């Protein structure tokens, strides 16, 4: 047998080509997913470059433009405190993304830890963890988030935790059921045969194989987290002032402005819906690509 030549250059470009061609292939097959990704990109762009694409401070009040309708200077009008709504929506993308990504990440970390331990170890550990998951899942998401938010107090980081906790059981369930099948696989047995520690098998061999369903569920939860933050803030129990949260912009006082200043109601709600819509479109496409069992 001749020695195997390792030629890094061409092989690497071939691989990069195949990644791009794969993306192109999936994009062509899922046009709605591309739309979703584009919407998400716009919101991420707004969140990152908020300072450069707005002309007004989202927090400073100006009594001269109180409840001003949309105009050339203030594209989306101004609110009851004379704050520019366009600027508040752009900066609000930061809050929504921070809470959305933060609570999804936290929920996934704890969900993976619980699900992996539960599924891999089995036995009484599994029984105990499953009862905890049952408890967290039995209370509707918003109700649990409300109680958590009230218990922790109104602050940005507390809101993230309050939304993350109700998300844990969903991730834990998915990871556990995947782990249950994976731990019977020959490659796990092989790893054990060569003397690898159980912890290392679970983290290095089982966990990476649950990644696809994990990405699918995390995208779905991102939308749910953004919606829950909006609801909490709408009810006055989420992100506190002066943060420009979309939900807070629609807080109960908004009902008064339904008659007099509809732009106060329309635009923040449209921002929430569009952001979540983008995530859902993208998530659907991802699920179709990564989880062939669900493919229609």
Partner 1 sequence: MLGSYLIRRFFLMLLTLFGISVLVFTMLRVVPGNIADILFDAAGMIDTAEKGKLEKELGLDRPIAVQYAQWIGGLAHGDLGYSYVSEKPALDEILPRIPITAKLAGLALLFSILFGVPLGVVSAVKQNSGLDYVLRVISLSGLSMPAFWLGLLILMVFVKYFGTIPIYTDPPQGFWSSLWLYSVPAAAVGFRSSALVMRLTRSSMLEVLRQDYIRTARAKGASDSNVNYHHALRNAVLPVVTVIGIEAAFLMGGLIVTETVFNIPGVARFLVEAIRWRDYPIVQNLVMFIAVVAVSINFLVDLLYAVLDPRIKYSG
75-to-39, 69, 96, 102, 253 alpha-carbon distances in Å: 20, 9, 21, 30, 22
Q: Minimum CB separation from partner 1 for residue 191, in Å?
A: 30
Q: Does 114 engage in binding with partner 1 (CB under 8 A)?
A: no
Q: Which of residues 250-269 bind partner 1 (CB under 8 A)?
A: 250, 252, 254-255, 258-259, 262, 265-266, 269
Q: Does 217 engage in binding with partner 1 (CB under 8 A)?
A: no
Report CA 109 to chain centroid distance, whole Å: 13
Q: Does 273 engage in binding with partner 1 (CB under 8 A)?
A: yes
Phi/psi at 78 (nearest 5 deg)? -130, 160
Q: Does 296 engage in binding with partner 1 (CB under 8 A)?
A: yes
Q: Does 285 engage in binding with partner 1 (CB under 8 A)?
A: no
Of the pair 98, 149, the CB lying nearest partner 1 is at: 149
20-to-9, 24, 30, 289 alpha-carbon distances in Å: 17, 6, 15, 15
**Burial classification of residue 79, based on how many CB atoms lie within 10 Å of its CB (0-12 exposed, 13-18 middle, 19 or more buried):** buried
Who's near 95: CB < 8 A, 6+ residues apart?
156, 229, 239, 243, 244, 245, 246
Select from 269, 274, 232, 234 the least CA-distant residue to 253: 234
Q: Mark residues 129-168: x for contact with partner 1 by CB under 8 A, - for none.
A: --xx-xx--xxxxxx--xxx-xx-x---------------
SS3 of residue 238 by DSSP: coil
SS3 of residue 84 by DSSP: strand
Report CA 223 to chain centroid distance, whole Å: 6
Of the pair 4, 131, the CB lying nearest partner 1 is at: 131
Q: Minimum CB separation from partner 1 for residue 90, in Å?
A: 19
Q: Minimum CB separation from partner 1 for residue 144, in Å?
A: 8
Q: Does 28 engage in binding with partner 1 (CB under 8 A)?
A: no
Q: Which residues bind partner 1 (CB under 8 A)?
A: 32, 131-132, 134-135, 138-143, 146-148, 150-151, 153, 223, 227, 230-231, 234-237, 247, 250, 252, 254-255, 258-259, 262, 265-266, 269, 272-274, 276-277, 279-281, 284, 294, 296
């Amino acid at each position: 047998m001749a020695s195997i030549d390792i030629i890094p250059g061409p092989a690497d470009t071939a691989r990069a080509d195949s990644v791009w061609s794969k993306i192109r292939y999936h994009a062509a097959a899922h046009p709605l997913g591309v739309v979703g990704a584009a919407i998400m990109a716009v919101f991420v762009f707004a969140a990152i470059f908020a300072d450069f694409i707005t002309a007004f401070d989202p927090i400073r009040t100006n009594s001269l433009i109180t409840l001003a309708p949309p105009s050339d200077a203030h594209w989306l009008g101004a609110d009851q405190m004379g704050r520019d709504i366009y600027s508040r929506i752009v900066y609000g993308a930061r809050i929504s993304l921070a809470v959305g990504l933060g609570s999804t990440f936290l929920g996934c970390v704890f969900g993976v830890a619980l699900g992996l331990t539960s599924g891999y170890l089995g036995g009484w550990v599994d029984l105990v963890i499953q009862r905890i998951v049952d408890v967290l899942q039995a209370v509707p998401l918003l109700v649990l988030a409300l109680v958590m938010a009230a218990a922790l107090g109104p602050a940005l980081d507390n809101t993230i935790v309050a939304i993350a906790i109700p998300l844990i059981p969903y991730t834990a369930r998915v990871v556990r059921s995947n782990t249950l099948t994976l731990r019977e696989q020959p490659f796990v047995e092989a790893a054990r045969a060569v003397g690898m520690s159980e912890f290392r098998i679970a983290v290095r061999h089982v966990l990476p194989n649950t990644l696809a369903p994990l990405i699918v569920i995390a995208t779905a939860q991102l939308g749910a987290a953004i919606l829950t933050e909006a609801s909490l803030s709408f009810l006055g129990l989420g992100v506190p002032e002066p943060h420009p949260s979309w939900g807070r912009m629609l807080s109960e006082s908004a009902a008064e402005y339904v008659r007099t200043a509809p732009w106060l109601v329309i635009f923040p709600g449209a921002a929430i819906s569009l952001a979540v819509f983008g995530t859902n479109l993208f998530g659907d496409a991802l699920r179709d690509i990564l989880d062939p069992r669900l493919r229609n």
